[in-house]
A = this chain, B = another copy of it.
């Protein structure tokens, strides 16, 4: 395994002597992989126990909603890491990672990074990673401009999580409105409009999103 300059300058390896890097990478079960532009590094729904460290090129972190539309939610260049929260929290990926250019990436096993650390450190990093995911999820929905878009973002995420178009949500209307930082009655109206337009169906806390083909039956 070669030690490239972007490793030593990476925040992940800050204050680690270059001489120690080789053995450290060995400990981390480091695997270097190269991707051509347009190739998938990780796909939504997969599980990973490794974080990614970009060696060269750029990767895009993207999110795909229930209806298939994509948006870039982050970039990572040389020295930057990705997927660390999912790996540490032990949760399936909610984003996909795409090579925006030809890229080389190092995948490092997080579990072995914590060996010799004791259970406490594992718990602490897991807590941080989970909080991270919780915040990211909420942010994703709240960043949308309109109540309608916030709703669709949230409901789409629930559908993806459940693995199908039908699911129950764990909040009542007021709680959901607070979570999305919108007005309850306006949200209720937006929900009604979406139902009328054939985008979704719902009864109480049970929702069903409709594929374009199913709509307007």
Chain B residue nearest to A51 in the complex (CB): B124
Interface residues of A in 165-194 (CB under 8 A from B): 181, 183
Q: Is A73 an interface residue (CB 8 A)?
A: no
Residues of B within 8 A of A144 (CB): 181
Q: How many copies does the complex hold?
A: 2
Chain B residue nearest to A135 in the complex (CB): B135
Q: Is the CB of B85 within 8 A of A123?
A: no
Interface residues of A in 133-161 (CB under 8 A from B): 135-136, 138-139, 142-145
Q: Given contacts A113-B120, A123-B13, is CB(A139)–CB(B135) below 8 Å? A: yes
Give a binary string over A109-141; 1 marks a CB under 8 Å from any B CB, 0 the rest: 010011011111111110111011001101100
By DSSP majority rule, is chain A's interface helix, strand, loop, or mixed?
helix
Taking each of A15, A81, A121, which has the highest tally of chain B beta carbons within 10 Å of its own beta carbon? Answer: A121
Q: Is the CB of B84 within 8 A of A128?
A: yes
Residues of B within 8 A of A116 (CB): 116-118
Give the B-binding residues of A (Cβ under 8 A): 11-16, 24, 28, 81, 84-85, 88, 110, 113-114, 116-125, 127-129, 131-132, 135-136, 138-139, 142-145, 181, 183
* 16 further interface pairs, Cβ-Cβ under 8 Å (given A116-B116, A135-B136, A143-B181): A11-B123, A14-B119, A15-B122, A16-B119, A16-B120, A84-B127, A113-B120, A114-B117, A114-B121, A116-B118, A117-B118, A117-B121, A121-B121, A128-B128, A132-B135, A145-B181
A sample of 26 inter-chain contacts (CB < 8 A) reads A11-B123, A12-B123, A12-B124, A16-B120, A16-B123, A24-B120, A28-B120, A81-B127, A84-B127, A88-B128, A113-B121, A113-B124, A114-B121, A116-B117, A117-B118, A121-B125, A125-B125, A125-B128, A132-B132, A135-B136, A139-B139, A142-B142, A142-B143, A142-B181, A143-B181, A145-B181
